[in-house]
Structure 1
């Protein structure tokens, strides 16, 4: 009989020292991935992939989440059949102080300029 731990699916994430600035910046450069990160930053906790209404196909959505996970921006875990996502704010703040708040503020300012004009 398999134990619960043996049946749990796990996903590979970079450890904190393995997170690289160029990979984080590349992940955040895509508008869809930035939309995901902005939503996670506003969330009080984890969000399931299925809660995101993105303007791309399901397979492309999966790709975007994988890029964010593999770059170290988010942590993903399975809860039953749902894949839960959490922004790795503490790790990013320790490695790149001020980066995430600056990117989020710039994205919000850009959105405000776009809707104001």
Structure 2
């Protein structure tokens, strides 16, 4: 019986911690190194509603909406459309950062964004 309560308590702690970590709502900023070697400063403003991820992505070229956003556990995906071209993003949630991959028409770039003030 004691083993059952210990297991249940640990499981509840894990679920609470995971729920706190998984909320990526807010502003995240970083730099993408594009396939041509140039740096692109980006800011993502995420809104999470259950498993739905929405918001905007901002760069020197302007602001675009986040489309088809999904979040499941510590993984998420979305796309942005820039001048008629979709750029799919996939990512993983960490306690202090988000690791993302963006597909530039078959060439992938990996980058990290951190919570912005």
TMscore range, shorter length: under 0.3
TM-score, length-normalised on structure 2?
0.24
TM-score, with length taken from structure 1: 0.24
The higher radius of gyration belongs to: 2
**Greater RCO structure (CA 8 Å; 6+ sep):** 1
Structure 1 or 2: more helix by fraction: 1
